[in-house]
Structure 1
Amino acid sequence: MLNKTEKARAELQPGQRQLAQRERALLLMADGRKDDAQLFALFGGQGRELVASLLARGYLVDESPTPPAASPSPARQAPAVSADAFAGPRSMASARMFLFDLSERMFAPRDKLLAQHYRDALREARDLQGMLVVSRAMMADVERLAGSERADGISERLARLLPESALETP
């Protein structure tokens, strides 16, 4: 049975928002009484990856009794790929929504004016090049606020959402 940690409880408090909406929804449901399979089945089967990510990052704890010689199941190990894996088509719209979400999760809690600046800039970016200019500025601020490793990880996720044409070098 999966249960919330103190870190998860803190995340669920008003004004705290570091996780995506699906991760937060899963945390709300993890109460130590629901069967793991119920949580794994959430979000069209993406629940398993989300659980693995939340376990690895310390938001969930597995309180199921396990036999001493048993090795952990794959669902209890950190995922081989990011929990933000994207299976849909690459598109400017998907990338734009990712950037809007990033602005809300990364900047709004720290600097409301900066978050508003990026929301406005993303709304004004009418084409792919304009959106890429905004995304580069956002990555610079992510690096400033959270470090280069975090910025690199976010850049990689963004690259998986952008249309292939945006990734081609001239």
Structure 2
Amino acid sequence: MLIKTEKGRGELRPGNRTLGQRERALLLLADGQQSESKMAELFGVDGRPLLERLLTQGYLERRGPAREPRSGHPVPPPSAPPGQHGDAFTGTRSLATARMFLFDLSERLFAPRDKALAGRYREALREARDADAMLAVGRALIADVETLAGSERADGISERLAKLLPAGLLESAA
């Protein structure tokens, strides 16, 4: 499992931006609860190199029995129920974490194909200052993902977003 070092915590303080958005998003997720492979998976093929760079530069450190096998697949904890699908999300649920996830998603999916659409989402996410605005941007982004990549991909993103948002937010907004 990865945790932030003092240098990593300092990077997340206001006025201390030396890293890019993707690196900062990984720092936000590094709470010692999620596996390295799950964190890397959020950033596609760039995930593992980003994590290694943050480790090498001293923003993150490994803690506990988190050394993962070379296959990149996490070893399930002994208490994990048989047949459990994937890791349970135990990280910090917040609008900030959800926003970073949506920023990254927009950049990875839309920027290479449609820079204007990526720019609109970038601006909408910057302006989304409350839960309702974040949900509206998230729903619109997921609808565009469904158009571009299909409903299965959109459903996976919806599930991940639901795990990042504060608990109960989706029920109260419905």
Which TM-score band (shorter chain)? 0.5 to 0.7
CA distance in 1, matches of 2:68, 2:107: 23
TM-score w.r.t. the length of structure 1 is: 0.57
Q: 1:94 aligns with which of 94, 97, 103?
A: 97
The answer to whether 1:81 aligns with 2:86 is: yes
Contact 1:23–1:50 (8 Å) recurs in 2: no
Q: Deviations over 1:5-48 (max 9, x none)?
A: xxxxxxxxxxxxx71642344799xxxxxxxxxxxxx8653755
Closer, same or farther in 2 for the Cα pair 1:48/1:139, shift >3 Å? farther
**Equivalent position SS for 1:51:** coil
Closer, same or farther in 2 for the Cα pair 1:154/1:145, shift >3 Å? same
The structure with more radius of gyration:
1
CA distance in 1, matches of 2:136, 2:73: 34
CA distance in 1, matches of 2:67, 2:155: 24
Q: Which runs of 5+ in 1 are unaligned?
A: 1-17, 29-41, 54-72
The answer to whether 1:19 aligns with 2:22 is: no
CA distance in 1, matches of 2:111, 2:123: 13
Write out aligned runs for 1:131-170 (5 A). 131-169=134-172, 170=174
CA distance in 1, matches of 2:119, 2:156: 23
CA distance in 1, matches of 2:86, 2:126: 31
Write out aligned runs for 1:28-43 (5 A). none
Q: 1:52 aligns with which of 52, 73, 81?
A: 73
Q: Which runs of 5+ in 2 are unaligned?
A: 1-42, 54-60, 77-83
CA distance in 2, matches of 1:26, 1:160: 21
Write out aligned runs for 1:103-142 (5 A). 103-142=106-145
Cα displacement (A) at 1:118: 0.2
Aligned-pair RMSD on alpha carbons?
3.2
CA distance in 2, matches of 1:105, 1:81: 23
Counting matched residue pairs gives: 115
Give 1:59's aligned residue.
none
CA distance in 1, matches of 2:142, 2:70: 25
Letter in 2 for 1:128: A
CA distance in 2, matches of 1:112, 1:106: 10
Runs of 4+ with deviation above 6 angstroms: none
Give 2:11's aligned residue.
none
